[in-house]
C-alpha cells in the first residue's frame, strides 16, 4: 500500500516539477529504509537481575540457575574506580553500599578469561 501511494505520487508529479520528483524519491527511500530497520532486533536474554534500582543501603544481584561459577561480578564507579569484585558462588549476591557515594555505578559480569559477559548500571541515592 505504501509503495503504491508513493508510485502514484511520483507519476502525478513527474510532469510538474523535478523538485517534487526528488522529494517523492527521497520520501520513498526514507520510508523503505525505516520499514526495513524497524523490525525487532535479536536480543539475548539478560543473565543478571538486579534490584532495587535506585539503591540506598544494598543492592541484590540474582543469576539464573545455570550460571557458570567461574564468573565474577565487578562494580565500578562512574569515573572508573573499581569498587568491588566478587566471585559468583551462588545464585544471589547482596552488595552492601556503605562505602558508596551517591551517583551512578556500572557492573560487569566477567568470565574467568576476563571477557565481559554482561554489563549494566545502577544508581545509589543515599
Percent of the chain with pLDDT over 90: 54
- Write down the pTM of the prediction: 0.65
Q: Burial letters for 51-72: b for 16+ Cβ neighbours within 10 Å, e otherwise?
A: eeeebeeebebebeeebeeebe
CATH superfamily of 49-124: Immunoglobulins (2.60.40.10)
Q: Residue holding cell 534500582?
A: 53
Which pLDDT tens digit goes with each residue over 10-62? 555 555 556 544 555 444 454 444 444 444 455 677 889 999 999 999 999 99
**DSSP states of 15-64:** TT-HHHHHHHHHHHHHHHHHHHHTSPPP-PPPS-EEE-SSBSSEEEEE--
Amino acid at each position: 500500500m505504501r509503495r503504491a501511494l508513493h508510485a502514484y505520487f511520483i507519476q502525478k508529479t513527474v510532469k510538474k516539477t523535478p523538485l517534487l520528483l526528488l522529494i517523492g524519491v527521497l520520501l520513498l527511500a526514507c520510508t523503505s529504509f525505516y520499514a526495513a530497520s524497524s523490525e525487532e532486533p535479536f536480543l539475548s536474554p539478560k543473565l543478571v537481575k538486579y534490584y532495587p534500582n535506585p539503591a540506598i543501603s544494598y543492592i541484590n544481584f540474582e543469576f539464573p540457575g545455570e550460571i557458570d561459577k567461574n564468573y565474577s561480578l565487578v562494580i565500578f564507579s562512574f569515573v572508573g574506580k573499581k569498587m568491588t569484585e566478587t566471585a559468583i558462588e551462588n545464585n544471589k549476591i547482596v552488595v552492601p553500599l556503605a562505602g558508596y557515594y551517591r551517583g551512578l555505578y556500572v557492573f560487569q559480569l566477567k568470565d574467568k578469561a576476563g571477557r565481559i559477559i554482561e554489563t549494566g548500571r545502577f544508581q545509589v541515592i543515599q
